[in-house]
Structure 1
Amino acid sequence: MDTVEVDGLRLAYRRRGHGRRVMFVHGGAEDSRTWTPQLEALADEFTVIAWDEPGAGGSDDVPDGFGLSDYADCLAGMIRALGVSPVAVVGLSWGTTVVLELYRRHPTSIRRMVLADGYAGWRGSLGAREADARLAGVRAAMAEPGERFDPTLPGLFAGDPPARFVPLLEAMAANVRPRSMVTALTAMAQADLTDVLPTIRVPTQLVWGELDVRSPLAVAHELERRIPGATLAVIPDCGHVSNLEAPHMFNEVVRDFLGRPD
């Protein structure tokens, strides 16, 4: 892995391939390794870059008081440091919330975006009651001594997790830092970015698992309705982590979208 320093934080990333640049933004309790099937498949045509957000993977811990705007500013700083602005950005789950905040604060850094199985923040897409309940559940689980994130959490996949990715999921789960996870998901629970959606002026592709129960299809249809010109691709028999559960279909949607002329 390589690193860059942004605002005093050492941020790690993986980079492969040559061609048009694409930045991948992972979900909660994950790191850049979750994009392994995308980095492997798309490097033949694109320069694929996947970051470890602050507090994840090989990146430094999150400082006290870190919030959603700080994640977005760090991502913008990495894009600048790598000299890839404006860049296509692909976000999954919590990563879509970071991407939308990036667009709010640094719109010229994004060339086009893919939002997969995500949210305009939990508050924005699920409502205050569900957002607060989810956050309370996370805090309670992480407060247990020796507790760690379950990578096969019910609802992440439509069925059993793909066997070939279970070791990857377990390795990422073993590296989850409880304080950092709670920081990220607190930002997710508090976020309502619905006001950003109608302001988006870059090509936008939505990718959703048909059977996603963490971010149901109703959320995807609401984003499709609110984002000007957005298109939605639904992956059949697939849950929340569509990039791992159906990597071939996910990659084909992303490749087709990123390959179109601007």
Structure 2
Amino acid sequence: MLEVANLKEEGEFQFIEEGEGKVMLLLHGLFGALSNWQSVVEKFSPHYKIIIPMLPIYELPVREAGLGKLIEFLESFIAFKGLEKFDLMGNSLGGHMALMYVLKYPEKVDRLILTGSSGLFENSMGGSFPKRGSYDFIKEKVEYTFYDPKTATKEYIDEIFNTTQSIPKCMRIVGIAKSAQRNNLAHELHQIENETLLIWGLNDTITPPRVGHEFNRLLKNSTLRFIDKCCHAPMMERPDMFNEVLEEFLNKRNTA
């Protein structure tokens, strides 16, 4: 697993850094983990330097748990690493953070890749927040984020279940989720001119296909690609198709 084998620590930051070349910075979602990007790392690290920071979702002060503090962390991490003109990719909450960062620092980012991003509309945890103590409830809600429930391994469900047993962690999750729902970017997205790829699950229940279409309408330099039989985390559920779409986008300049 990515977390155990390759986690680096520098200063206050923990992150994955694999490969050489142009930097591709990846941001996981609210219930995401570094391992969500396993297939992307394996596919693209021979040609890109893949960097995945561990977002401090469970370390933020409970009263300050929200997008604002997460963006401060992201700004600090990017400055610490001295990153310039990198490709930025985010899933779900990570996509929302990517959009907020690009709106603030458009010149630092080259291309933007969003998959199941929040920022316009999302059904958090399938319409409800974590219920402590009920493994079946957590299992149902985790499986809800995948077209094929078997994609949610027992290990992944166990990890989220264990997280939700902590009251402070649950409070942070709810705080960040509510912060994301309040932070609607519809009136700001027209400012983004960076070349953008939207990769959406055709069966996404959290950020439905209409959300992908709305992002495509509001982001003037965007391309929307759907993946069938796929829900909210295409890079996990349909990794081969996800990587194929991503590779086509990344290579487009070289063949133009």
TM-score by length of 2: 0.84
CA distance in 1, matches of 2:83, 2:138: 33
1:195 aligns with 2:187: yes
After superposition, the C-alpha distances for 1:19-53 in whole angstroms (9 at most, x for unaligned) are 11101111111221211111122111111111111
1:88 aligns with 2:87: yes
Q: Which is richer in helix?
A: 2
Q: Which of 22, 26, 29 is equivalent to 1:27?
A: 29
1:223 aligns with 2:215: yes
Q: Which residue matches 2:73?
A: 74
After superposition, the C-alpha distances for 1:98-147 in whole angstroms (9 at most, x for unaligned) are 11111222223321110101222xxx325xxx67x94xx21xx34x3577
CA distance in 1, matches of 2:140, 2:112: 26
Q: Which residue matches 1:259?
A: 251
Q: Which residue matches 1:115?
A: 114
Q: Which residue matches 1:166?
A: 153
**Structure 1 position 171, deviation (Å):** 5.8
After superposition, the C-alpha distances for 1:170-194 in whole angstroms (9 at most, x for unaligned) are 4642456323322321221211111
CA distance in 1, matches of 2:25, 2:68: 18
Q: Which of 2, 22, 26 is equivalent to 2:8?
A: 2
CA distance in 2, matches of 1:240, 1:40: 21
Runs of 4 or more, structure 1, over 6 Å off, are none
The alpha-carbon distance between structure 1 residues 100 and 19, as it changes in their structure 2 partners (threshold 3 A), is same
Q: Which residue matches 2:201?
A: 209
Q: Is this contact kept in 2: 1:24–1:50, CA < 8 A?
A: yes
The sequence identity of aligned pairs, in percent, is 21
CA distance in 1, matches of 2:140, 2:172: 16
Q: Is this contact kept in 2: 1:94–1:118, CA < 8 A?
A: yes
Q: Which residue matches 2:56?
A: 54
For these two proteins, the number of residue pairs brought into alignment is 240
In structure 2, the gaps of 5 or more residues are 1-6
The alpha-carbon distance between structure 1 residues 146 and 171, as it changes in their structure 2 partners (threshold 3 A), is closer
Q: Is this contact kept in 2: 1:66–1:183, CA < 8 A?
A: yes
The alpha-carbon distance between structure 1 residues 16 and 171, as it changes in their structure 2 partners (threshold 3 A), is farther
**Structure 1 position 237, deviation (Å):** 1.2
Once the two structures are superposed, the pairs formed by residues 171-186 of structure 1 within 5 Å of their partners are 172-173=159-160, 174-175=162-163, 177-186=169-178
The alpha-carbon distance between structure 1 residues 171 and 36, as it changes in their structure 2 partners (threshold 3 A), is farther
Q: Which of 236, 247, 250 is equivalent to 2:242?
A: 250
Q: Is this contact kept in 1: 2:143–2:149, CA < 8 A?
A: no
In structure 1, the gaps of 5 or more residues are none
Q: Is this contact kept in 2: 1:161–1:245, CA < 8 A?
A: no
